[in-house]
Structure 1
Amino acid sequence: MPRPDSPPVRKHFSMIRGFHLADVFTLGNAACGVGGVFLAMAYMASQSLTHFYWAAALAPAAFVFDVFDGRIARWRQTHSALGRELDSLADIISFGVAPAALGFAAGLDGGWDCVALVYFVCCGVSRLARFNVTAESLSAGGDKVKYFEGTPIPTSVVLVGVLAWAASQGRLGDALWGGAWSVGPWQLHPMALLFALSGTLMISKTLRIPKF
Protein backbone atom coordinates (compact mmCIF):
# COMPACT_ATOMS: atom_id res chain seq x y z
CA MET A 1 0.00 0.00 0.00
CA PRO A 2 1.55 3.38 -1.01
CA ARG A 3 2.50 5.81 1.74
CA PRO A 4 0.57 9.14 1.79
CA ASP A 5 3.66 10.94 0.54
CA SER A 6 4.45 8.49 -2.27
CA PRO A 7 4.68 9.95 -5.83
CA PRO A 8 1.41 8.45 -7.19
CA VAL A 9 -0.59 9.79 -4.23
CA ARG A 10 1.10 13.20 -4.46
CA LYS A 11 0.20 13.38 -8.15
CA HIS A 12 -3.38 12.44 -7.33
CA PHE A 13 -3.82 15.23 -4.81
CA SER A 14 -1.94 17.62 -7.08
CA MET A 15 -4.55 17.00 -9.78
CA ILE A 16 -7.38 17.68 -7.31
CA ARG A 17 -5.71 20.93 -6.26
CA GLY A 18 -5.58 21.87 -9.96
CA PHE A 19 -9.39 21.99 -10.15
CA HIS A 20 -11.10 25.38 -9.97
CA LEU A 21 -14.64 26.35 -9.00
CA ALA A 22 -15.63 26.48 -12.67
CA ASP A 23 -14.48 22.87 -13.07
CA VAL A 24 -16.87 21.78 -10.31
CA PHE A 25 -19.75 23.23 -12.36
CA THR A 26 -18.41 21.44 -15.43
CA LEU A 27 -18.48 18.16 -13.54
CA GLY A 28 -22.06 18.99 -12.55
CA ASN A 29 -22.79 19.22 -16.27
CA ALA A 30 -21.25 15.79 -16.83
CA ALA A 31 -23.19 14.32 -13.89
CA CYS A 32 -26.45 15.54 -15.42
CA GLY A 33 -25.56 13.87 -18.70
CA VAL A 34 -24.74 10.54 -17.08
CA GLY A 35 -27.94 10.77 -15.04
CA GLY A 36 -29.87 11.38 -18.25
CA VAL A 37 -28.46 8.21 -19.80
CA PHE A 38 -29.28 6.14 -16.72
CA LEU A 39 -32.84 7.50 -16.59
CA ALA A 40 -33.34 6.80 -20.29
CA MET A 41 -32.37 3.18 -19.62
CA ALA A 42 -34.65 3.14 -16.56
CA TYR A 43 -37.53 4.32 -18.75
CA MET A 44 -36.94 1.48 -21.21
CA ALA A 45 -37.12 -1.01 -18.35
CA SER A 46 -40.09 0.50 -16.52
CA GLN A 47 -41.98 2.45 -19.21
CA SER A 48 -42.59 5.03 -16.48
CA LEU A 49 -42.95 8.52 -17.92
CA THR A 50 -41.54 9.87 -14.66
CA HIS A 51 -38.15 8.42 -15.64
CA PHE A 52 -38.48 9.89 -19.13
CA TYR A 53 -39.36 13.36 -17.89
CA TRP A 54 -36.52 13.37 -15.39
CA ALA A 55 -34.09 12.31 -18.11
CA ALA A 56 -35.34 15.18 -20.28
CA ALA A 57 -35.17 17.66 -17.37
CA LEU A 58 -31.48 16.93 -16.82
CA ALA A 59 -30.64 18.39 -20.27
CA PRO A 60 -31.57 21.99 -19.35
CA ALA A 61 -29.99 21.41 -15.93
CA ALA A 62 -26.74 20.48 -17.70
CA PHE A 63 -27.11 23.60 -19.84
CA VAL A 64 -27.32 25.77 -16.71
CA PHE A 65 -24.12 24.20 -15.37
CA ASP A 66 -22.49 24.72 -18.78
CA VAL A 67 -23.38 28.42 -18.83
CA PHE A 68 -22.21 29.05 -15.29
CA ASP A 69 -18.87 27.24 -15.62
CA GLY A 70 -17.85 29.61 -18.43
CA ARG A 71 -19.01 32.70 -16.58
CA ILE A 72 -17.28 31.66 -13.39
CA ALA A 73 -14.05 30.92 -15.25
CA ARG A 74 -14.12 34.41 -16.81
CA TRP A 75 -15.06 36.05 -13.52
CA ARG A 76 -12.28 34.34 -11.58
CA GLN A 77 -9.87 34.42 -14.56
CA THR A 78 -9.19 30.71 -14.19
CA HIS A 79 -9.18 29.61 -17.82
CA SER A 80 -7.05 26.50 -18.31
CA ALA A 81 -6.41 23.72 -20.81
CA LEU A 82 -7.76 21.28 -18.23
CA GLY A 83 -11.00 23.25 -17.91
CA ARG A 84 -11.44 23.40 -21.67
CA GLU A 85 -10.99 19.64 -22.06
CA LEU A 86 -13.31 18.95 -19.12
CA ASP A 87 -15.95 21.16 -20.71
CA SER A 88 -15.78 19.32 -24.03
CA LEU A 89 -15.96 15.89 -22.40
CA ALA A 90 -18.92 16.94 -20.25
CA ASP A 91 -20.70 18.46 -23.26
CA ILE A 92 -20.44 15.34 -25.37
CA ILE A 93 -22.04 13.32 -22.57
CA SER A 94 -24.82 15.78 -21.72
CA PHE A 95 -25.61 17.16 -25.17
CA GLY A 96 -24.51 14.28 -27.39
CA VAL A 97 -24.79 10.84 -25.80
CA ALA A 98 -27.67 11.63 -23.41
CA PRO A 99 -30.03 13.09 -26.08
CA ALA A 100 -29.22 10.17 -28.39
CA ALA A 101 -29.96 7.69 -25.58
CA LEU A 102 -33.24 9.45 -24.85
CA GLY A 103 -34.13 9.37 -28.55
CA PHE A 104 -33.49 5.63 -28.67
CA ALA A 105 -35.59 5.13 -25.52
CA ALA A 106 -38.38 7.20 -27.08
CA GLY A 107 -38.65 4.72 -29.94
CA LEU A 108 -36.01 5.79 -32.47
CA ASP A 109 -34.69 2.24 -32.50
CA GLY A 110 -34.90 1.29 -36.17
CA GLY A 111 -31.73 0.55 -38.10
CA TRP A 112 -31.66 3.90 -39.88
CA ASP A 113 -32.62 5.67 -36.65
CA CYS A 114 -29.52 4.24 -35.00
CA VAL A 115 -27.40 5.42 -37.93
CA ALA A 116 -28.83 8.93 -37.49
CA LEU A 117 -28.22 8.89 -33.72
CA VAL A 118 -24.63 7.66 -34.12
CA TYR A 119 -24.06 10.30 -36.82
CA PHE A 120 -25.41 12.96 -34.45
CA VAL A 121 -23.03 11.96 -31.66
CA CYS A 122 -20.05 11.73 -34.02
CA CYS A 123 -20.84 15.20 -35.35
CA GLY A 124 -20.91 16.48 -31.79
CA VAL A 125 -17.51 14.94 -31.04
CA SER A 126 -16.09 16.41 -34.25
CA ARG A 127 -17.62 19.81 -33.51
CA LEU A 128 -16.03 19.99 -30.07
CA ALA A 129 -12.66 18.75 -31.27
CA ARG A 130 -12.61 21.36 -34.05
CA PHE A 131 -13.59 24.09 -31.62
CA ASN A 132 -10.77 23.16 -29.23
CA VAL A 133 -8.08 23.29 -31.90
CA THR A 134 -9.37 26.50 -33.51
CA ALA A 135 -10.43 28.43 -30.38
CA GLU A 136 -7.25 30.48 -30.28
CA SER A 137 -7.54 31.65 -33.87
CA LEU A 138 -11.28 32.33 -33.53
CA SER A 139 -10.69 34.52 -30.48
CA ALA A 140 -8.47 36.82 -32.58
CA GLY A 141 -6.03 37.35 -29.74
CA GLY A 142 -8.76 38.12 -27.18
CA ASP A 143 -9.94 36.16 -24.17
CA LYS A 144 -13.17 35.02 -25.76
CA VAL A 145 -14.17 33.32 -29.01
CA LYS A 146 -16.01 35.81 -31.23
CA TYR A 147 -18.26 33.33 -33.03
CA PHE A 148 -19.09 29.65 -33.40
CA GLU A 149 -18.53 27.70 -36.60
CA GLY A 150 -21.65 25.58 -36.78
CA THR A 151 -24.28 25.38 -34.08
CA PRO A 152 -22.98 24.77 -30.54
CA ILE A 153 -23.66 21.26 -29.24
CA PRO A 154 -25.87 22.49 -26.34
CA THR A 155 -28.51 23.34 -28.96
CA SER A 156 -29.44 19.65 -28.72
CA VAL A 157 -31.49 20.70 -25.69
CA VAL A 158 -34.11 21.62 -28.32
CA LEU A 159 -34.23 17.98 -29.46
CA VAL A 160 -34.74 16.86 -25.88
CA GLY A 161 -37.57 19.40 -25.59
CA VAL A 162 -39.23 17.92 -28.69
CA LEU A 163 -38.98 14.43 -27.18
CA ALA A 164 -40.44 15.63 -23.88
CA TRP A 165 -43.30 17.27 -25.76
CA ALA A 166 -43.90 14.03 -27.68
CA ALA A 167 -44.02 12.17 -24.36
CA SER A 168 -46.57 14.63 -22.97
CA GLN A 169 -48.77 13.97 -26.03
CA GLY A 170 -48.46 10.19 -25.73
CA ARG A 171 -46.42 10.04 -28.94
CA LEU A 172 -43.61 7.68 -27.99
CA GLY A 173 -42.76 4.24 -29.34
CA ASP A 174 -45.10 3.15 -32.13
CA ALA A 175 -47.02 6.43 -31.79
CA LEU A 176 -44.08 8.68 -32.74
CA TRP A 177 -44.99 11.54 -35.06
CA GLY A 178 -44.45 10.55 -38.69
CA GLY A 179 -44.73 6.86 -37.98
CA ALA A 180 -42.08 4.52 -39.38
CA TRP A 181 -40.90 3.98 -42.94
CA SER A 182 -39.39 0.80 -44.33
CA VAL A 183 -36.29 1.84 -46.25
CA GLY A 184 -34.40 -1.14 -47.59
CA PRO A 185 -33.59 -3.61 -44.81
CA TRP A 186 -34.28 -1.22 -41.91
CA GLN A 187 -36.89 1.08 -40.49
CA LEU A 188 -36.62 4.86 -40.29
CA HIS A 189 -38.70 7.11 -38.06
CA PRO A 190 -38.80 10.58 -39.64
CA MET A 191 -38.14 12.13 -36.21
CA ALA A 192 -34.63 10.66 -36.36
CA LEU A 193 -33.92 13.08 -39.20
CA LEU A 194 -34.04 15.91 -36.64
CA PHE A 195 -30.93 14.41 -35.03
CA ALA A 196 -29.25 14.08 -38.44
CA LEU A 197 -30.07 17.72 -39.20
CA SER A 198 -28.75 18.88 -35.82
CA GLY A 199 -25.50 16.99 -36.36
CA THR A 200 -25.06 18.43 -39.84
CA LEU A 201 -25.57 21.99 -38.56
CA MET A 202 -22.98 21.42 -35.84
CA ILE A 203 -20.22 20.51 -38.28
CA SER A 204 -21.08 23.23 -40.81
CA LYS A 205 -18.17 25.59 -41.51
CA THR A 206 -20.26 28.09 -43.43
CA LEU A 207 -22.70 28.73 -40.57
CA ARG A 208 -21.24 31.32 -38.20
CA ILE A 209 -23.06 32.24 -35.01
CA PRO A 210 -21.87 35.20 -32.90
CA LYS A 211 -21.00 34.33 -29.32
CA PHE A 212 -22.40 36.77 -26.80
Structure 2
Amino acid sequence: MTTPSPVPARKHFSMIREFHLADVFTLGNAACGVGAVFLAMAFMASHSLAQFLWAAALAPTAFVFDVLDGRIARWRQTQSALGRELDSLADVISFGVAPAALGFAAGLNGGWDCAILVYFVCCGVSRLARFNVTAEALSAGSDKVKYFEGTPIPTSVVLVGVLAYAAWQGRIGDGLWGGAWVVGPWQLHPLALLFALSGTLMISKTLRIPKF
Protein backbone atom coordinates (compact mmCIF):
# COMPACT_ATOMS: atom_id res chain seq x y z
CA MET A 1 0.00 0.00 0.00
CA THR A 2 1.41 3.35 -1.07
CA THR A 3 1.60 5.99 1.62
CA PRO A 4 0.06 9.24 0.37
CA SER A 5 2.45 12.14 0.11
CA PRO A 6 1.99 14.70 2.86
CA VAL A 7 0.15 17.83 1.83
CA PRO A 8 2.57 20.76 1.97
CA ALA A 9 1.68 23.33 4.60
CA ARG A 10 0.02 26.41 3.21
CA LYS A 11 2.39 29.35 3.17
CA HIS A 12 1.21 32.24 5.31
CA PHE A 13 0.27 35.26 3.23
CA SER A 14 2.09 38.29 4.59
CA MET A 15 0.22 41.38 3.48
CA ILE A 16 3.00 43.71 4.57
CA ARG A 17 5.68 41.86 2.60
CA GLU A 18 3.42 41.81 -0.47
CA PHE A 19 2.99 45.59 -0.42
CA HIS A 20 4.70 47.57 -3.16
CA LEU A 21 5.24 51.28 -3.69
CA ALA A 22 2.25 51.43 -6.04
CA ASP A 23 0.01 50.03 -3.30
CA VAL A 24 0.92 52.96 -1.05
CA PHE A 25 -0.45 55.32 -3.70
CA THR A 26 -3.57 53.14 -3.97
CA LEU A 27 -4.12 53.54 -0.24
CA GLY A 28 -3.68 57.29 -0.75
CA ASN A 29 -6.57 57.08 -3.20
CA ALA A 30 -8.72 55.30 -0.59
CA ALA A 31 -7.74 57.80 2.10
CA CYS A 32 -8.93 60.67 -0.10
CA GLY A 33 -12.27 58.95 -0.57
CA VAL A 34 -12.75 58.39 3.15
CA GLY A 35 -11.75 61.99 3.85
CA ALA A 36 -14.33 63.21 1.34
CA VAL A 37 -17.06 61.19 3.08
CA PHE A 38 -16.07 62.58 6.48
CA LEU A 39 -16.05 66.14 5.17
CA ALA A 40 -19.44 65.65 3.52
CA MET A 41 -20.85 64.56 6.88
CA ALA A 42 -19.16 67.49 8.61
CA PHE A 43 -20.69 69.86 6.05
CA MET A 44 -24.18 68.58 6.85
CA ALA A 45 -23.62 69.50 10.49
CA SER A 46 -21.87 72.84 10.01
CA HIS A 47 -23.03 74.01 6.53
CA SER A 48 -19.52 75.31 5.98
CA LEU A 49 -18.93 75.84 2.27
CA ALA A 50 -15.19 75.34 2.81
CA GLN A 51 -15.76 71.81 4.08
CA PHE A 52 -17.87 70.93 1.05
CA LEU A 53 -15.30 72.32 -1.36
CA TRP A 54 -12.46 70.51 0.41
CA ALA A 55 -14.44 67.29 0.14
CA ALA A 56 -14.92 67.90 -3.57
CA ALA A 57 -11.21 68.70 -4.01
CA LEU A 58 -10.29 65.27 -2.67
CA ALA A 59 -11.91 63.63 -5.73
CA PRO A 60 -9.34 64.88 -8.28
CA THR A 61 -6.62 64.23 -5.68
CA ALA A 62 -7.80 60.62 -5.48
CA PHE A 63 -7.74 60.50 -9.29
CA VAL A 64 -4.09 61.59 -9.31
CA PHE A 65 -3.23 58.80 -6.86
CA ASP A 66 -5.19 56.36 -9.03
CA VAL A 67 -3.23 57.31 -12.14
CA LEU A 68 0.13 57.23 -10.36
CA ASP A 69 -0.34 53.81 -8.78
CA GLY A 70 -0.85 52.19 -12.19
CA ARG A 71 2.12 53.96 -13.73
CA ILE A 72 4.38 53.12 -10.82
CA ALA A 73 3.32 49.47 -10.91
CA ARG A 74 4.16 49.24 -14.62
CA TRP A 75 7.42 51.16 -14.19
CA ARG A 76 8.60 48.93 -11.36
CA GLN A 77 6.98 45.81 -12.89
CA THR A 78 5.24 45.07 -9.60
CA GLN A 79 1.68 44.46 -10.76
CA SER A 80 -0.03 41.87 -8.58
CA ALA A 81 -3.42 40.37 -7.73
CA LEU A 82 -3.29 42.17 -4.38
CA GLY A 83 -2.65 45.49 -6.10
CA ARG A 84 -5.55 44.96 -8.49
CA GLU A 85 -7.96 44.20 -5.66
CA LEU A 86 -6.71 47.17 -3.61
CA ASP A 87 -7.20 49.43 -6.62
CA SER A 88 -10.81 48.34 -7.10
CA LEU A 89 -11.67 48.70 -3.42
CA ALA A 90 -10.11 52.16 -3.28
CA ASP A 91 -11.98 53.23 -6.42
CA VAL A 92 -15.31 52.12 -4.91
CA ILE A 93 -14.71 54.47 -1.98
CA SER A 94 -13.30 57.48 -3.84
CA PHE A 95 -15.36 57.38 -7.04
CA GLY A 96 -18.49 55.58 -5.87
CA VAL A 97 -19.33 56.14 -2.22
CA ALA A 98 -17.72 59.60 -1.87
CA PRO A 99 -19.54 61.22 -4.85
CA ALA A 100 -22.82 59.72 -3.60
CA ALA A 101 -22.17 61.10 -0.12
CA LEU A 102 -21.43 64.54 -1.60
CA GLY A 103 -24.62 64.36 -3.64
CA PHE A 104 -26.65 63.56 -0.55
CA ALA A 105 -24.96 66.35 1.41
CA ALA A 106 -25.67 68.78 -1.43
CA GLY A 107 -29.40 68.13 -1.11
CA LEU A 108 -30.09 65.02 -3.19
CA ASN A 109 -31.88 63.47 -0.26
CA GLY A 110 -35.37 62.79 -1.59
CA GLY A 111 -36.61 59.23 -1.78
CA TRP A 112 -35.94 58.90 -5.52
CA ASP A 113 -32.61 60.70 -5.11
CA CYS A 114 -31.46 58.13 -2.55
CA ALA A 115 -32.57 55.27 -4.78
CA ILE A 116 -30.56 56.76 -7.66
CA LEU A 117 -27.47 57.28 -5.49
CA VAL A 118 -27.65 53.65 -4.33
CA TYR A 119 -28.04 52.58 -7.97
CA PHE A 120 -25.00 54.67 -8.90
CA VAL A 121 -22.79 53.04 -6.24
CA CYS A 122 -24.02 49.55 -7.16
CA CYS A 123 -23.21 50.25 -10.82
CA GLY A 124 -19.71 51.30 -9.83
CA VAL A 125 -19.17 48.16 -7.76
CA SER A 126 -20.52 45.97 -10.58
CA ARG A 127 -18.38 47.71 -13.19
CA LEU A 128 -15.20 47.15 -11.19
CA ALA A 129 -16.08 43.51 -10.51
CA ARG A 130 -16.70 42.94 -14.23
CA PHE A 131 -13.40 44.56 -15.11
CA ASN A 132 -11.47 42.34 -12.69
CA VAL A 133 -13.13 39.21 -14.08
CA THR A 134 -12.72 40.12 -17.75
CA ALA A 135 -9.37 41.98 -17.65
CA GLU A 136 -7.41 38.96 -18.89
CA ALA A 137 -9.71 38.46 -21.87
CA LEU A 138 -9.77 42.16 -22.71
CA SER A 139 -5.97 42.34 -22.71
CA ALA A 140 -5.84 39.74 -25.50
CA GLY A 141 -2.69 38.15 -24.12
CA SER A 142 -0.80 41.40 -23.57
CA ASP A 143 0.00 43.06 -20.24
CA LYS A 144 -2.44 45.92 -20.77
CA VAL A 145 -6.19 46.10 -21.30
CA LYS A 146 -6.87 47.67 -24.69
CA TYR A 147 -10.26 49.20 -23.97
CA PHE A 148 -12.82 49.76 -21.22
CA GLU A 149 -16.30 48.26 -21.39
CA GLY A 150 -18.44 51.11 -20.11
CA THR A 151 -17.07 54.33 -18.70
CA PRO A 152 -14.37 53.94 -16.00
CA ILE A 153 -15.60 54.71 -12.49
CA PRO A 154 -13.14 57.65 -12.04
CA THR A 155 -15.29 59.59 -14.54
CA SER A 156 -17.51 60.34 -11.53
CA VAL A 157 -15.01 63.13 -10.80
CA VAL A 158 -17.09 65.09 -13.33
CA LEU A 159 -20.15 64.72 -11.09
CA VAL A 160 -18.16 66.00 -8.14
CA GLY A 161 -17.06 68.97 -10.24
CA VAL A 162 -20.69 69.78 -11.04
CA LEU A 163 -21.59 69.62 -7.34
CA ALA A 164 -18.61 71.79 -6.40
CA TYR A 165 -19.60 74.42 -8.97
CA ALA A 166 -23.19 74.34 -7.72
CA ALA A 167 -21.95 74.84 -4.15
CA TRP A 168 -19.73 77.72 -5.24
CA GLN A 169 -22.77 79.35 -6.86
CA GLY A 170 -24.90 78.77 -3.77
CA ARG A 171 -27.09 76.30 -5.66
CA ILE A 172 -27.21 73.39 -3.24
CA GLY A 173 -29.77 72.48 -0.61
CA ASP A 174 -33.07 74.19 -1.38
CA GLY A 175 -31.47 76.04 -4.28
CA LEU A 176 -30.44 73.00 -6.33
CA TRP A 177 -30.63 73.45 -10.10
CA GLY A 178 -33.90 72.10 -11.45
CA GLY A 179 -35.69 72.36 -8.14
CA ALA A 180 -37.54 69.34 -6.75
CA TRP A 181 -40.37 67.27 -8.19
CA VAL A 182 -42.83 65.12 -6.30
CA VAL A 183 -43.13 61.85 -8.20
CA GLY A 184 -45.51 59.43 -6.54
CA PRO A 185 -44.67 59.02 -2.86
CA TRP A 186 -41.17 60.52 -3.05
CA GLN A 187 -39.28 63.63 -4.02
CA LEU A 188 -36.88 63.77 -6.97
CA HIS A 189 -34.28 66.41 -7.77
CA PRO A 190 -33.57 66.36 -11.53
CA LEU A 191 -29.86 66.84 -10.80
CA ALA A 192 -29.84 63.27 -9.41
CA LEU A 193 -30.45 62.01 -12.94
CA LEU A 194 -26.81 62.79 -13.72
CA PHE A 195 -25.87 60.05 -11.25
CA ALA A 196 -28.33 57.69 -12.93
CA LEU A 197 -26.77 58.44 -16.32
CA SER A 198 -23.23 58.00 -15.00
CA GLY A 199 -24.06 54.65 -13.39
CA THR A 200 -25.78 53.38 -16.52
CA LEU A 201 -22.81 54.33 -18.72
CA MET A 202 -20.45 52.50 -16.35
CA ILE A 203 -22.25 49.17 -16.75
CA SER A 204 -22.83 49.54 -20.49
CA LYS A 205 -21.72 46.47 -22.44
CA THR A 206 -21.76 48.12 -25.86
CA LEU A 207 -19.83 51.28 -24.97
CA ARG A 208 -16.11 50.66 -25.53
CA ILE A 209 -13.53 53.28 -24.68
CA PRO A 210 -9.91 52.80 -25.83
CA LYS A 211 -7.40 52.74 -22.96
CA PHE A 212 -4.30 54.80 -23.67
What are the Cα deviations for residues 164-198 of structure 1, in whole angstroms up to 9, with x where unaligned?
A: 00001100001000000000000000000000000
Q: How far apart in 1 are the matches of 2:34 and 2:159?
A: 17
Partner SS, residue 145 of structure 1:
coil
Q: How far apart in 1 are the matches of 2:135 and 2:12?
A: 29
The answer to whether residue 106 in structure 2 is matched with residue 106 in structure 1 is yes
**Amino acid of the residue matched to residue 146 of structure 2?**
K
| Deviation, structure 1 residue 11 | 5.3
1:94 alignment counterpart: 94
**Amino acid of the residue matched to residue 144 of structure 1?**
K
The answer to whether residue 199 in structure 2 is matched with residue 195 in structure 1 is no
How many pairs are equivalent? 202
Q: How far apart in 2 are the matches of 1:151 and 1:192?
A: 18
2:3 alignment counterpart: none
1:4 alignment counterpart: none
Pairs within 5 Å for 1:115-154: 115-154=115-154
Q: Which runs of 5+ in 2 are unaligned?
A: 1-10
Q: How far apart in 1 are the matches of 2:69 and 2:15?
A: 19
Q: How far apart in 2 are the matches of 1:111 and 1:54?
A: 27
Partner SS, residue 190 of structure 2:
coil
Q: How far apart in 2 are the matches of 1:158 and 1:16?
A: 34
1:6 alignment counterpart: none
The answer to whether residue 39 in structure 2 is matched with residue 39 in structure 1 is yes
CA RMSD of aligned residues (A): 1.0
| Deviation, structure 1 residue 15 | 1.5
Partner SS, residue 191 of structure 1:
helix
Q: How far apart in 2 are the matches of 1:17 and 1:207?
A: 39
2:54 alignment counterpart: 54
Q: How far apart in 2 are the matches of 1:93 and 1:207?
A: 24
1:75 alignment counterpart: 75
Q: How far apart in 2 are the matches of 1:186 and 1:11?
A: 52
Q: How far apart in 1 are the matches of 2:208 and 2:15?
A: 36
1:3 alignment counterpart: none
Partner SS, residue 78 of structure 1:
coil
Partner SS, residue 155 of structure 2:
helix
The answer to whether residue 160 in structure 2 is matched with residue 160 in structure 1 is yes
Q: How far apart in 2 are the matches of 1:114 and 1:193?
A: 11
Q: How far apart in 1 are the matches of 2:175 and 2:12?
A: 53
Q: How far apart in 2 are the matches of 1:106 and 1:193?
A: 14
Partner SS, residue 44 of structure 2:
helix
TM-score w.r.t. the length of structure 2 is: 0.94
TM-score w.r.t. the length of structure 1 is: 0.94
1:85 alignment counterpart: 85
Q: How far apart in 2 are the matches of 1:50 and 1:168?
A: 10
Q: How far apart in 1 are the matches of 2:211 and 2:77?
A: 18
Partner SS, residue 37 of structure 1:
helix
Q: How far apart in 2 are the matches of 1:11 and 1:169?
A: 54
What are the Cα deviations for residues 83-135 of structure 1, in whole angstroms up to 9, with x where unaligned?
A: 00000000000000000000000000000000000000000000000000000
1:24 alignment counterpart: 24
Q: Which runs of 5+ in 1 are unaligned?
A: 1-9
| Deviation, structure 1 residue 17 | 1.2
**Amino acid of the residue matched to residue 71 of structure 2?**
R
